[in-house]
Chain A
Amino acid sequence: GAVVSQHPSWVICKSGTSVKIECRSLDFQATTMFWYRQFPKQSLMLMATSNEGSKATYEQGVEKDKFLINHASLTLSTLTVTSAHPEDSSFYICSARAGGQSEKLFFGSGTQLSVL
């Protein structure tokens, strides 16, 4: 199956700093990538949908100035948490949808963000 690589897997940062998370599709071109947030023992909450070459579409309640998403190529999307605060601590997961397999979603391994 298709592989989605997500880095870093775990990051600890000080409050007020920015953190960038990368999501790469390794063996396919991802026309669409999704970013999710997951709290312990809860479901995935969709934060935003990014399409290559265009602005991301954010879900209601998600601050687009705080969670910057860039999808500059068909294999890379990045999520930057700007001026992170402890309440931003969470597990972030990216996923990618292959153009030729539009009904399948491939997931990265996730990033645990801890803001001190």
Chain B
Amino acid sequence: AQTVTQSQPEMSVQEAETVTLSCTYDTSESDYYLFWYKQPPSRQMILVIRQEAYKQQNATENRFSVNFQKAAKSFSLKISDSQLGDAAMYFCAYSNTGNQFYFGTGTSLTVIP
């Protein structure tokens, strides 16, 4: 069975600094997708970034980038130049080609002014 693990329940970062959120997953499949979703206090789930497993190049979206280590089954999110609006719960998610999505337990990120 696929599992997604986020070992950091809470993280904090100083405004304008960089923070890395960790995520590991377990799968026996070779073709899959990985995601980071953000859930601010409004509770609306927002897609932050997406990575296809077959791509070796790490995905980037402006201040957000990932470090995808397929062999280690690791998928960390780096937030650069942190802003107050980045404060939220962050969920790592895995999706296989069989229509299933699996979410980690989440990391609560606090941004300190």
List residues 40-55 of chain A with CB under 8 A from any CB of chain B.
Answer: 41-44, 46, 49
Give the CA-CA distance A102 to B52 in the complex, in Å: 12
Q: Are the C-beta atoms of A95 and B105 separated by less than 8 Å?
A: no
B41, chain A: closest CB distance, angstroms: 12
Give the number of residues in A that approach B within 8 Å (Cβ atoms): 22
Give the CA-CA distance A100 to B75 in the complex, in Å: 25
Main secondary structure of the interface of B (DSSP, over half): strand
User: When the two chains form the complex, which single residue of B91, B99, B100 contacts A43, counting CB atoms closer than 8 Å?
Assistant: B91
- Which bracket fits the contact residues of B? 20 to 34
Q: Interface-forming stretch among A64-72, A73-81, A104-112?
A: A104-112
Q: Are the C-beta atoms of A43 and B45 separated by less than 8 Å?
A: no
Q: Are the C-beta atoms of B33 and A103 separated by less than 8 Å?
A: yes
Residues from chain A with Cβ under 8 Å of B42 in the complex: 109
Q: Are the C-beta atoms of A105 and B44 separated by less than 8 Å?
A: no
Decide yes or no whether A24 CB sits under 8 A from chain B.
Answer: no
Give the CA-CA distance A49 to B99 in the complex, in Å: 9
Decide yes or no whether B103 CB sits under 8 A from chain A.
Answer: yes
Q: Are the C-beta atoms of A104 and B103 separated by less than 8 Å?
A: no
Q: Which 6 A-B pairs have the closest CB atoms?
A: A107-B45, A103-B33, A43-B105, A44-B103, A43-B103, A109-B44
Partner-B contacts on A (CB < 8 A): 1, 32, 34, 38, 41-44, 46, 49, 91, 93, 95, 97, 102-107, 109-110
